Amino acid sequence: AADLVGRHLIGEQGTFWVDGPLTRAVREGAICYLDEVVEARKDTTVVIHPLTDDRRILPIERTGETLKAPAEFMLVVSYNPGYQNILKGMKPSTRQRFVGMTFDFPASELEQEIIQKETGSDEKTAKALVKLAAALRVLKDHDLEEAASTRLLIYAARLIKSGMNPSEACLAAMAEPLTDDLETRNALMEVINISLPRG
């Protein structure tokens, strides 16, 4: 929690207080974005509770301050529900303090455009990788804990553009990062080799 709120540091003149990013955002009426919040320790979520209900306050125990969040202040959190399990889910008492939005993968045309823009790949390669991702994403709830992300497609496209064989590039950038299980990896490679264009 101290990483978010702040801490006392020691300097030439003695100890001094340094605001953490959450405290700075409250003071300035800014947006504080916390990525993968389900990975945070429990004491962190306790800190954000009074900020995210009708009180909109941030008590700073170490300085004795209680900051009132201005109307402009916004707290945004994100997490991938696919990572959740009994130990790493967002508590209902925390989740109910937020407005929820669900994001999916980009539409295939947009994802293709993203890959081309990020990597300089040609249309044929980008289109093949997007098609491949669609085939791999079907396996997400069967053999894979996580689906093939746009990030992995970009990695594969960069390797292909650098001259690597497409099958080897997809093995290194997609199949290997998605699973440690040899049987599952081999199944992914079957899908990859069927989906990739010849030549």
> Which pLDDT value is given to residue 26?
96
According to the model, what pLDDT value does residue 84 have?
A: 47
Residue 195: per-residue pLDDT:
80
User: Among residues 97, 91, 4, which one has the least CA distance to residue 52?
Assistant: 97
CB 26 within 8 A of CB 59: no
Question: Cβ contacts of residue 80 below 8 Å, gap of 6+?
Answer: 36, 146
Quote the pLDDT of residue 143.
65
Residues 6+ apart with CB under 8 A from 40: 34
pLDDT at 68: 96
154 closest CA partner among 115, 110, 105: 115
Which residues on neighbouring strands pair with residue 75, listed in sequence order? 32
Q: Beta-carbon neighbour count of residue 140 at 10 Å? A: 14
pTM: 0.71
C-alpha span between 12 and 19 (Å, rounded): 18
| Distance in angstroms between the alpha carbons of the first and the last residue of the chain | 54
Please report, in tens digits, the pLDDT of each residue of the chain (199 residues total). 888 999 999 988 899 999 999 999 999 999 999 998 888 877 788 888 999 999 999 999 989 999 999 999 999 998 877 554 445 667 788 888 888 898 889 999 999 999 999 999 999 999 999 999 998 888 766 667 788 999 999 999 999 999 999 999 999 999 999 988 888 888 889 889 888 766 5
Q: Residue 144: what are its φ and ψ, rounded to 5°?
A: -115, 140
Q: What is the structure's pLDDT at 138? A: 83
Q: What is the pLDDT of residue 45?
A: 80
Provide the pLDDT for residue 82.
Answer: 58
